[in-house]
Amino acid sequence: MRELRYREALREALAEEMERDERVFIVGEEVGHYQGAYKVTEGLLARFGERRVIDAPIAEAGFAGMAIGAAMAGLRPVVEFMTWNFSAVAFDQILNNAAKVRQMSGGQFTCPIVFRGPNGAARQTGSQHSQCFEAFYAHMPGIKVVCPATAADAKGMLKAAVRDDNPVLVLEDERLYGSKGLVPDGDHLAPIGVSAVARAGSHVTVVTWGKMLVASLDAADALAREGVECEVIDLRSVRPLDHAPVIASVEKTGRCLVVQEAWPFGGVGAEVVDRVQRDAFGALAAPVLRVTGRDAPMPYNKKLEDLTIPSTDTVVRGVRALLAY
């Protein structure tokens, strides 16, 4: 085991997969000569050259479409969006081409492609650059959506995504890039579609993914000092979604809180609530509650932004509301 920063774990995954398979290449804005907008691709241009680390113009629909064509022709592209907000202009390429080409060709074509980049709010980037996209993309069949929260999962899930024969979207987080964590040595792969128990507990089940794992674990630590033990489930993958550990936990605790950064309406959290009430209804001692981002465009003002994004304190309040039933 080694301690790596989240961005270093991603970089290591890319380098290892490019070394392992010459069909893997990277394309995106500033991935090469600038060394990556968030330094995830730092050093890869010098190591692998301009044929495999390609600086693209500010034209997401164009380079996403080019990469989809390359995947159909047998290559394994990794497309970096500087932010998932910029993927909006490539939405048609992802929705109508990457997600559908295998089905529409009767299996004659596959699309082994990875789209990756930071998702959700950074710090004072405004309403057009702070949105969470997991619910948008998880809604559509034909693609996989993963949200690694730790350095180990960042490396392991990205490597698994590169090797997958289906389109995989890796939703990272700008605020996590500098975080540190232990990463297993060797060819570390993390399975797509498998949830994990991030912390064991017996009083309340907290379900989350991505950056909100940090707030949820911090809240669990604070509540433990009051004698409340939360079991924290990290979904890791939201499409496919492994809800078996969630159901097993709720059957033990009788209470469930879902924590997401995204807007509340039609979110991934609503899908989790539906599965819990269908498969663990008899175990519930209280309604399933959600802690979410505010149902409003993200303000630019720092203090208002802090009020919009779920925090450790809002998770603690959510757990207390459950215990009040």
> Hey, which residues are catalytic here?
60, 129
Alpha helices in the chain (DSSP H): 6-20, 44-48, 60-72, 91-92, 101-104, 134-138, 151-163, 212-224, 244-253, 268-279, 302-308, 312-323
**What angle, rounded to 10 degrees, do the helices at 312-323 and 212-224 form?**
60
Of 108, 71, 73, give the one whose Cα is nearest residue 93: 71
Residue for token digits 């540190």?
180
Q: How many residues does the chain have?
A: 325
Reply yes or no: is the peptide bond before residue 240 cis, omega within 30 of 0. yes
Q: Which residues are CB-neighbours of 253 under 8 A, at least 6 positions away?
A: 201, 202, 203, 204, 205, 231
Please give the full DSSP string across 235-300, using - where no structure is assigned. Answer: --EEETB--HHHHHHHHHHS-EEEE-SS-STT-HHHHHHHHHHHHSGGG-SS--EEE---SSPPPS
* Four-point Cα dihedral 31, 32, 35, 39, nearest 10: 30
Amino acid at 74: G
The separation between the first and the last C-alpha atoms of the chain, rounded to the nearest angstrom, is: 43
Cβ–Cβ under 8 Å, residues 102 and 110:
yes
Q: Is the dihedral of CA 23, 151, 129, 220 positive or negative?
A: positive
Cβ–Cβ under 8 Å, residues 162 and 78:
yes
User: CA 94 to CA 91: how far, in whole Å?
Assistant: 5
